[in-house]
Amino acid sequence: MTTMTDLTIRPFEIHVPDEDLADLRRRIAANRWPSRELVQDRSQGVQLATVQELARYWTAYYDWRACEARLNALPQFKTEIDGEDIHFIHVRSPHAGALPLIITHGWPGSVIELLEIVGPLTDPAAHGGSAEDAFDLVLPSLPGYGFSEEPAETGWDPGHIALAWAELMRRLGYTRYVAQGGDQGAAVTDAMGRQAPEGLLGIHLNFLRGALGSVGDLPADSEEERAAAAAISTFMTNGSGYFLEQATRPQTIGYALLDSPVALAAWMLDHDTDSYLKISRAFLGGQPSGGLTRDHVLDNITLYWLTGTGASAARSYWEGGQAAAHAAGQAPSDITLPVGFTMFPGEIFRAPRSWAERLYPNLTYYHQVGKGGHFAAWEQPQLFSEEMRAGFRLLR
């Protein structure tokens, strides 16, 4: 399954200077706070009580060094692809015959949201599964996110990243592999499926991204389909402010994201209602939902702050929007590879099987699970891992 590793791949470790952490605490302490929102819900945005408690915990209790040690305990690497340094985690399974799997994170996530699935996927026998379902894991940081280099030129849209990921897998020596993604990662994984690079056996998604722009062309006959259409309408009307800003003016919001850690945290929390309410409860009520704990949430936000990638990550939406505009009126190429999809109930909308089949006629796996939301691997790592085993079992 594998051949000789490319020598351009370099080991990588994280060592953040103490001064960077001290500067972070100083900036949080000096934050200028707005007055409280004038409503009782989140309809005016991220609520003051949530962000103030997050800031208090951030300065009083949070320990970045624990996260840093956790990342450095995993095999991390960098390699240059198309002139950009790409950071990735690469964990080989202890089991023979493991299936290589590349998973792409989204926004406002990072490789942080995927750390809890490393054990269950690479060593399923130790986590209630079977050795026959083991994966070799490749977890790259999107260009401009985390420790991947910030693109110096435009053009790093999902299609370009998909080509880079195929090159990464080739460079690692994998001659057959599968790919998975949600959120922005779903766009990259979808592009990989359409490009069908040599060795790619199939893909799995946990976000039906294509439905956002084509809901009018999708069936709305059943109650389930109408509910999904209504949820998309609500999101586009009341919940997509961050999407519009980042897709059209990422540089503008970037000034706040690079200057104020509190602004960065609030911006990242304002993604979707389900995730926001769960994170808010974790800070205000001490009731985390699965992996969405206070420390894990701050691991992710702190990674964005320390790497200064708030603006460059936001630009990924602009890149996707530009690519979509250039492709307007052109029918996308078909995906002939097998496609799997898992619907997590807390997602922005609950994609019906009929929609998944319309967008992916070669759908070979569809399953609705009972818990979890947009950040599925982060919130429910064990359940997510079980879905990966089931979704890719036929491709081994």
Please write the tens of the pLDDT for every residue from 345-379.
Answer: 999 999 999 999 999 999 999 999 999 999 999 99
What's the chain's average pLDDT?
Answer: 96
Average pLDDT over residues 228-249: 96
Q: Report whether pLDDT(4) > 60.
A: no
pLDDT value of residue 73: 98
Instruction: Identify the active-site residue in 62, 317, 360, 366.
Output: 317
Fill in the amino acid letter for 322. Answer: Q
pLDDT at position 147 is 98
Mean pLDDT throughout 226-244? 96
Which range, of 225-229, 325-329, 363-367, averages the lowest pLDDT? Answer: 325-329
Q: Cβ atoms within 10 A of the Cβ of 17, count? A: 9
Instruction: End-to-end CA distance of the chain: give it in Å, rounded.
Output: 12
Give whole-number Cα distances, 293 to 70, 279, 324, in Å: 16, 7, 35
pLDDT at 1: 41
Structure-token match 């003016």, residue found: 249
- What does the buried/exposed string (b/e) look like for 162-187 if buried means 16 or more CB atoms within 10 Å of the residue's CB? bbbbbbbbbbbebeebbbbbbbbbbb
How many CA atoms are closer than 13 Å to the CA of 101, on its beta-carbon side? 30
pLDDT in tens, 15-44: 999 999 999 999 999 999 999 999 999 999
Catalytic residue among 90, 105, 204, 374: 374
pLDDT tens digit sequence for 52-107: 999 999 999 999 999 999 999 999 999 999 999 999 999 999 999 999 999 999 99
- pTM for this entry: 0.96
8 A C-beta contact, residue 209 and residue 317: no
pLDDT for 308 = 98
* Residue 339 confidence (pLDDT) above 60: yes
Q: What percent of the chain has pLDDT over 70?
A: 98
pLDDT exceeds 90 at position 2: no
Q: What is the pLDDT of residue 6?
A: 59
Backbone angles phi, psi at 340, to 5 degrees: -110, 150
Question: What is the mean pLDDT of the segment spanning 327-333?
Answer: 84
- Residue 279 is encoded by which pair of tokens? 């994170």
Residue 82 among the catalytic residues: no
| Catalytic residue status for 317 | yes
Residues in the chain: 396
Phi and psi at residue 260, to the nearest 5°? -130, 115
Q: Which of 123, 133, 136, 183 is catalytic?
A: 183
- Note the pLDDT of residue 7: 64
